[in-house]
Amino acid sequence: MRTTHGIRTAAALALLALAGCGPKPPQVHIKFTIYDNDNSFAATVYAQEVSTGATTTFAYGPHTPSMTVEIQRPGTYVFYARLVEAPDDYHYGFTGYQAAAYGHMTRSGTRDAATNLIALDLKPGGQYKVYISDHWAELPAPGKPVTVPWHRG
């Protein structure tokens, strides 16, 4: 009897341990820069699902080298940032995997496909990299489906 009870107890404990071991959420490694590989100001980083508009925000401190976040719901997401000090005037998007040209005049005010947001298909357990640095990116309205130009990365 004692052996059967021990086996049942061990099996029950193993099932309880496994119950909390579902798929891990996607992890996104985010780097936000404004100029010269640095961000001198605090920003709010947005992860926005393109079809539903579900938006998650993260605080990004000044001079932070990078951060890793977990996105709780897999899906297709665009990423962008707005400076805390002037969110309407200074905003940046994820349009490439290297620093974008800096400043309001570097692209002479023209828009092209290089400034379209990149959307990533985030899957459970996946690891992804995002580089937010493009001032010319057109940003979506948080909480609404994404209607600005974007493409899958």
pTM for the full predicted model: 0.81
Question: How many other CB atoms are there within 10 angstroms of residue 23's CB atom?
Answer: 10
Instruction: Map residue 132 onto helix, strand or coil.
Output: strand
The mean per-residue pLDDT over the stretch 34-63 comes to: 92
Domain boundaries, the chain: 23-152
Q: Which of 11-15, 37-41, 142-146 has the lowest mean pLDDT?
A: 11-15
Place domain 23-152 in its CATH homologous superfamily: Carboxypeptidase-like, regulatory domain (2.60.40.1120)
pLDDT digits (tens, 9 = 90+) for 57-66: 999 999 999 9
pLDDT digits (tens, 9 = 90+) for 98-133: 877 654 444 434 456 667 999 999 999 999 999 999
Output the pLDDT for position 37.
Answer: 74
Instruction: Map residue 111 onto helix, strand or coil.
Output: coil
